[in-house]
Structure 1
Amino acid sequence: MVSLDFAINHMAAPQLRLAELFALAAKLGAPRVEIRNDISGNAMLDGTPAQTVRELADEHDVTIISINALQQFNVWSDARAEEAKTLAAYCSGSGAKALVLVAENSGNVPDSSATRIANATQALTALSPIMRHYGIIGLVECLGFKTCSLRSKREALVAIDAANGRDVFRLTHDTFHHHLAGEPELFPELTGLVHISGVDERDLAVADMRDSHRLLVGSKDRLDNLGQIVALRRGGYCGPLSFEPFAEELRHLADPAAALQQSMQFITEGLRARAA
């Protein structure tokens, strides 16, 4: 029997208010959610207190696995430190277990691996006492785009170790970004969260794939989500598989629950067939 721990990132149904998202997750039997700080009209941009979010999650019997995200975490500054403290405090107050840490993606990419690692190490060294103080995990996310300043999870792991941060940091494995980066290693034992999404467009070059192409995982998926999930699970990962598509068309679905249910069924049946 294939038992999967699905989760719902708010980007899977950004048209929903937070209470509706929590209700959707509960309805789908996937009572784990990721809330975001980049969806207008919703917590956190609308000023909803963290305690209110916690009470809303409790009301729907869902767990907030992360807040997504502290952007450009590896470009450290006093302003970034204050932002990190604010987000970490919100995590703690809302009951969120982790804060996603996203690498800079502006095209300012250091040529040297040593420089990339040093930048990430500086940030993680400063972030670690913040994570410890608020009792949360930092989920380091490397983006697969060539414009990203930290594409390699191997480099991120070296930075985590240089910052003595294995107690408070884990890697985010994003199936889309992993495919784009072309990094063969998975590091399942050090992965704290998996983001899943698919790309169906057949004639699209990998180098041209963008967030706007990211759909729910289905039979036309080019990213080998099933293969990635199998490899992660065989390596010991048993945490959430969080749906994080970005395609504009998903914002206008009349029935996001049905679409998510279909993708969940495809993944479950696909993994069951591979295990047979």
Structure 2
Amino acid sequence: MRQVSPRFAVNHMAAPPLDVSAFFALARDHGLTDVQIRDLHFSNPVACAIPAADVRSAATEAGVTIISVNALQRFNDWTPTRQSAAIKLADYAAACGAKTVVLEPVNDGSWACNGERHDSLRVALKALKPILQPRGLIGLIEPLGFRTCSLRSKKQAAEAIAAVDGQSVFRLVHDTFHHTLAGETFLFSELTGLVHISGVNDPTFWIYPDRFLGGSDNGSQIQALLDGGYEGPFSFELIEVVRTLDDLAGALAASIDFIQRRLLTPD
């Protein structure tokens, strides 16, 4: 049966001061069973060298599932250093019980040649397959809509997945902000493994009106993904301005309610 309403999740990026146990409790208290943890910045388990077994135990105790570890940075610039980082992150993800690893592309404007970008992307995916597959992990490719990004298009990522016969190992991240910023129209619902909800009204900058995430385009994208057959979680992916809120828990509840109401009564 096709999923007809969003299954919400939350990223540790929303509450960086919280340790993993408190973060998992925040999710649980809002009825969310899916969470994302991060490997860089914030109070995260990987950078803080928290044993993966402890993270797995905390998730089990809270009754939540770790859907992803974010992220392997610059994944499409494949080097021996990147390979080592990929193996370390994949080992940690598998040990803590995560289902996926997010793959973030080079985003510094350094690649001008389309051919170079395409070739490098396929090289990276071929190299990642034997790292992810034996560990039972899915690689979630996250195109970024910024003009500086080496991989802005989900279409390009989907073509690369097909070219390396990687449909069993790779999926796409659909970020509502980056989708808008890149000017994409096709959704790739059936190839999507995770959706990041990001509040955006205008493709040139972030706007947070009177809601935690709001964003005039979130509802239509979420509905279109559901209609297209997407069956995964919709995770709140937040930026710095949100982390200063005094009542994070209340704002999260308001956001969930806001989006649910938009789906019931679209403009």
Q: Same fold (TM over 0.5)?
A: yes
Q: Equivalent residue for 1:19?
A: 21
Q: Aligned partners of 2:193, 2:102: CA distance in 1, in Å?
A: 10
Q: Aligned partners of 1:12, 1:152: CA distance in 2, in Å?
A: 25
Q: Aligned partners of 1:166, 1:269: CA distance in 2, in Å?
A: 34
> 1:172 is aligned with what amino acid?
V
Q: Equivalent residue for 1:128?
A: 129
> 1:105 is aligned with what amino acid?
N
Q: Aligned partners of 2:64, 2:165: CA distance in 1, in Å?
A: 32
Is the contact between residue 4 and residue 226 of structure 2 (CA under 8 Å) also seen in structure 1?
Answer: no
Q: Equivalent residue for 2:177?
A: 176
Q: Equivalent residue for 1:217?
A: 213
Is the contact between residue 5 and residue 241 of structure 1 (CA under 8 Å) also seen in structure 2?
Answer: yes
1:138-191 CA-partner distances (Å, limit 9, x unpaired): 000000000000101111111111111100100000001000000111100100
The 1:146/1:213 distance shift into structure 2, 3 A limit, reads farther
Q: Equivalent residue for 2:249?
A: 257
Matches within 5 A, 1:86-105: 86-105=88-107
Is the contact between residue 101 and residue 139 of structure 2 (CA under 8 Å) also seen in structure 1?
Answer: yes
Is the contact between residue 105 and residue 149 of structure 1 (CA under 8 Å) also seen in structure 2?
Answer: yes
What is the deviation of 1:213? 7.2
Matches within 5 A, 1:166-245: 166-199=167-200, 206-207=203-204, 209=205, 216-218=212-214, 221-222=215-216, 224-245=217-238
Q: Equivalent residue for 1:36?
A: 38
What is the deviation of 1:9? 0.4
Question: What secondary structure sits across from 1:173 in the alignment?
Answer: strand
1:102-149 CA-partner distances (Å, limit 9, x unpaired): 11101113332x332211100000001111011100000000000000
Is the contact between residue 216 and residue 243 of structure 1 (CA under 8 Å) also seen in structure 2?
Answer: no
Give identity over the alignment, percent: 49
RMSD: 2.0
Q: Aligned partners of 2:212, 2:83: CA distance in 1, in Å?
A: 34
Q: Aligned partners of 1:111, 1:231: CA distance in 2, in Å?
A: 33
> 1:31 is aligned with what amino acid?
T
Q: Equivalent residue for 1:273?
A: 265
Q: Aligned partners of 2:131, 2:212: CA distance in 1, in Å?
A: 34
The 1:254/1:179 distance shift into structure 2, 3 A limit, reads same
Q: Equivalent residue for 1:138?
A: 139
Question: What secondary structure sits across from 1:206 in the alignment?
Answer: coil
Consecutive unaligned residues in structure 2, runs of 5 or more: none
Consecutive unaligned residues in structure 1, runs of 5 or more: none
Counting matched residue pairs gives: 264
Q: Aligned partners of 1:82, 1:106: CA distance in 2, in Å?
A: 22
Is the contact between residue 141 and residue 171 of structure 1 (CA under 8 Å) also seen in structure 2?
Answer: yes
> 1:136 is aligned with what amino acid?
L
Is the contact between residue 117 and residue 156 of structure 1 (CA under 8 Å) also seen in structure 2?
Answer: no
1:214-246 CA-partner distances (Å, limit 9, x unpaired): 98422xx24x01111111111100210000011
Q: Equivalent residue for 2:75?
A: 73
Q: Aligned partners of 1:213, 1:72: CA distance in 2, in Å?
A: 29
